[in-house]
Chain A
């Protein structure tokens, strides 16, 4: 009712409510009331959801009350799947309520008739704001919303959000002048279950607890078993079925599975035919499945907000407490689980503070605006600045992005003939022809997938199972076994872009992992873990084994402090280990590992490898590192960073995403596939050329901005290096410390990288293959005669 009042007063409003609060329908209430009183034709309300499936579900949920009350209201959905016939109908006779996604909204906005289509818009509802704000899709939506406000200033914005840490920026994201908050009902009941027997020192899969997990599934009606990665989902699913003698119906759900498969699982869930689903974040958001009795989180919760979101999937009703059980996979995760439970109890949410909007998304949007009609740079700059993620956008950045869209923005004016925008004598900016506009609309979107290959059973009409990364398939040899879609598959061959498989693989299986599959622990949760380590009075909550472990650490070394950086060094098996307790999350530690090994190489310690977890970074070297504080000096972000940027595969991936979103690399071309292949340039090659010839190009600037977070998380590293200056506590030990054991056990299980370049790795592989083939190859020497190698072929 507060929402209704605010909207009727013409105020933008943010409605914050826990999942299951019926907030979506609350968002539509003012529109339904208005339309019931004043029936009319034309678009009245636009609803935008990050999930296509959610829009469809909401449409179904609206149909019922509209029909029951006999309201004169028309509803339609629009997404990438909507047929051209349905889209034509929507254009000719717009529905009162249109339900769509940010991508489809961006396509609508790029149409020349968009001003006419949206001119009478009264209300913009955006669902799951917390999941959009701070992402590139959120940037895209915010830009589109700014355009809608320019077309239809009377339209009111209604944001719907789950409980969030940073309320002000979320409110600013929808330009809300009023926040309506619905408090949660009963607090969730969260408990911890440990595997029988010894608590594992390391590992993230939680497979040891499979019997306990199965017992919990058996004891409840319907369970969602949340895990952290797709690989973990596949492995845990296998582990559960090995024990599942009663053949309880247990299914698997993750984002790489074929859409049909996922839909089958979802409908079986809503029909109550399943007892459990092993799921990744693919079930985090959106549709109310109903009938979920409990939620299990296997492995680290990673963050308080994320845990709450997942817990909210159980008992989707306000009046009952949600039940959830955490299953930590190792000792550090026990600490993390306790910290997360405390965080939930204290209502301290986490989440990244707002970041500036992406310049790549802005580039896409500017071309979209030009496709809709000519514009003036000054007016559009003001419009863009009214979107919250871009409120600090400088005119220079804006002009550079516009220049990039116009003709590439290169110092070398080579592309005048191929420009995409032109300015007329009045200063109006136009799109260069319908072909550019058509191509742009085909490429709208901010989600850039890794190159994926379809997995399909061999033979005519073999069923498709889903998609895996090309990268993973490159590592398979014919006959190799891998686990996917809950099956043991044998890899047969790669046929064009299809990975052909058969049932019945044998031997030790591989499991596809996905880029960015693991999210790092949040800063907030890491702080809590550190605080608990510092305060033995809090240890009573831990199981005996964990208390013993921490007690031992205090005796042998010391506990990591809350504000300093504990670094331990110790010799072990002819090597010297350095373990840094940074607590900055796995992504940041990976990057730090790359930088530190380069640095140790320069200092002459001869590093041999490193491994990173969410909590610590361990590096081993041939010589004992000394002057450890100097190793962690912020000047690491100078030369070492520069060298890393030239090589980093993560940074190349970041650049590729930026280049695709900005439209430098087009994913879809009108016309033949052959044509596309002939002009597609690999983004790594573009990155090399651009870095060399125009290092300050706007797309490289956008790449560095992205590198501050995400997979490289440079922002967290530079923050830490500043914070710990002069506060590095170095413990030179004679042997491994108890807290260092888990990370050392990750060696051999995790990737082991050092400052080695790709060339070093190739040389090593070449040497090993030569040895394995029984050729006593000499070490690489200039001009050696490789005919010797042929003898072994």
Chain B
């Protein structure tokens, strides 16, 4: 496993392939959009999806805490899928989260899904400032400097050998970074969506999450696309690709 390093407002930050951001100088770990209990929210609506999403998300969080041993964890909002989510946690999961929040200082940035303090130890806030960086749930339009946020669940699709690989991703430019969602059941919004593009008017880079590292692609005026040599291979994995037309 190796994290990519990046600079924002003069600070050196690490982008972890599990989707977290680490700030070594402050021993701070930021995670976003954990969406605890999204599974039981779906179940309430009639989709009885497997009930292990909170456990799976906690597993990721536990791995990250072991890996970086941070002093502070900043959860960038939408940590809980809805207002009732904390109350729906299974006893074992609630106990595990409580133990984490006891051992490390948590900052719960409030999001649109969880606008109220969650009832776990830690500071609840709409905005958290440390040095030159500001942590909030949703990126502010216009000129900012040193902003870290979540909310959009960015994902990017890269055409490779006639197929497309889609992964959650960080998006970064010299002014701000948007973090991917970590929750086990969270979907994503394509980086080409106008809502995301508007926040990066001069382009930026997407860092796609991989097993052991992140993969970096430019997003600029043009969508990130490999050169024609790659797409010309045509066809798809298991026959779902595109087929090039015949040469006249």
Chain A interfacial positions (CB closer than 8 Å to B): 205, 207, 231, 235, 239, 404, 407-408, 410, 412, 414-415, 417-418, 420, 435-436, 439, 469, 471-472, 474-475, 477, 483, 494, 508-518, 586-587, 590-591, 648-650, 663-666, 669, 675, 678-682, 685-686, 688-690, 692-694, 697, 711, 748-753, 757-759, 761-766, 768-769, 772-773, 780-787, 789-790, 792-793
- Tell yes or no: B234 within 8 A of A by CB: yes
- Tell yes or no: B48 within 8 A of A by CB: yes
The 23 listed contacts between A and B (C-beta, < 8 Å) are A235-B245, A235-B246, A418-B48, A483-B245, A494-B192, A515-B239, A648-B238, A665-B47, A679-B38, A679-B42, A686-B185, A689-B53, A689-B56, A693-B55, A748-B234, A751-B163, A752-B161, A761-B161, A761-B165, A762-B160, A765-B158, A786-B4, A786-B216
A772–B231 Cα gap in the complex (Å)?
A: 14
Which 7 pairs from chain A and chain B are nearest by CB?
Answer: A751-B235, A408-B48, A782-B2, A414-B51, A761-B160, A418-B43, A772-B227
Which of B118-126, B129-137, B144-152, B204-212 sits within the interface? B204-212
Main secondary structure of the interface of A (DSSP, over half): mixed
- Tell yes or no: B198 within 8 A of A by CB: no
Beyond contacts A749-B243, A759-B211, A786-B4: 16 other A-B pairs, Cβ-Cβ < 8 A, are A235-B246, A415-B43, A513-B243, A669-B45, A679-B41, A680-B187, A685-B187, A686-B50, A689-B52, A689-B56, A689-B184, A762-B160, A762-B165, A762-B215, A764-B161, A773-B218
- Given contacts A414-B90, A786-B6, is CB(A751)–CB(B161) below 8 Å? yes
Assess the A586–B210 pair: CB atoms within 8 A.
Answer: no
Contacts of B210 in A (CB 8 A): 759, 762-763
- Tell yes or no: B241 within 8 A of A by CB: yes
Assess the B159–A475 pair: CB atoms within 8 A.
Answer: yes
Assess the B234–A751 pair: CB atoms within 8 A.
Answer: yes
- Given contacts A475-B242, A761-B160, is CB(A681)–CB(B185) below 8 Å? yes
Mask of B186-217 contacts with A, CB within 8 angstroms, 1/0: 11000010000000001111001011110111
Assess the A516–B205 pair: CB atoms within 8 A.
Answer: no
Assess the B239–A590 pair: CB atoms within 8 A.
Answer: yes
- Tell yes or no: B94 within 8 A of A by CB: no
Assess the A751–B225 pair: CB atoms within 8 A.
Answer: no
A436–B46 Cα gap in the complex (Å)?
A: 7
Distance of A501 from chain B, by nearest CB (Å): 15
Q: Which of A516, A664, A782, A793 contacts B49 (CB 8 A)?
A: A664
Distance of A336 from chain B, by nearest CB (Å): 18
A477–B246 Cα gap in the complex (Å)?
A: 20
Distance of B165 from chain A, by nearest CB (Å): 5
Nearest residue, chain A, Cβ from B232: A748
- Given contacts A510-B244, A783-B3, is CB(A408)–CB(B51) below 8 Å? yes
Contacts of B40 in A (CB 8 A): 414-415, 418
- What is the count of residue pairs linking A and B with beta-carbon distances less than 8 angstroms? 252
- Tell yes or no: B66 within 8 A of A by CB: no
Q: Which of A471, A510, A753, A757 contacts B245 (CB 8 A)?
A: A510
Assess the B230–A762 pair: CB atoms within 8 A.
Answer: no
Contacts of A680 in B (CB 8 A): 42, 47, 187
Q: Which of B213, B224, B233, B240 contacts A513 (CB 8 A)?
A: B240
Assess the A679–B45 pair: CB atoms within 8 A.
Answer: yes
Assess the B52–A418 pair: CB atoms within 8 A.
Answer: no
Nearest residue, chain A, Cβ from B203: A793
Contacts of A412 in B (CB 8 A): 51-52, 90
Assess the A786–B205 pair: CB atoms within 8 A.
Answer: yes
Nearest residue, chain B, Cβ from A419: B48
- Tell yes or no: B67 within 8 A of A by CB: no
Assess the B239–A769 pair: CB atoms within 8 A.
Answer: no
Contacts of B51 in A (CB 8 A): 408, 410, 412, 414-415
Contacts of B163 in A (CB 8 A): 751, 761
- Given contacts A513-B242, A751-B161, is CB(A768)–CB(B47) below 8 Å? no
A765–B161 Cα gap in the complex (Å)?
A: 9
- Given contacts A408-B50, A649-B238, A751-B161, is CB(A786)–CB(B187) below 8 Å? no
Contacts of A764 in B (CB 8 A): 160-161
- Tell yes or no: B143 within 8 A of A by CB: no
Contacts of A436 in B (CB 8 A): 46
Assess the A769–B227 pair: CB atoms within 8 A.
Answer: yes
Mask of B139-182 contacts with A, CB within 8 angstroms, 1/0: 00000000000000000011111111111000000100000000
Assess the B46–A666 pair: CB atoms within 8 A.
Answer: yes
Assess the B240–A785 pair: CB atoms within 8 A.
Answer: no
Q: Which of A474, A483, A679 contacts B47 (CB 8 A)?
A: A679
Assess the A751–B230 pair: CB atoms within 8 A.
Answer: no
Contacts of A751 in B (CB 8 A): 161-163, 233-239, 241
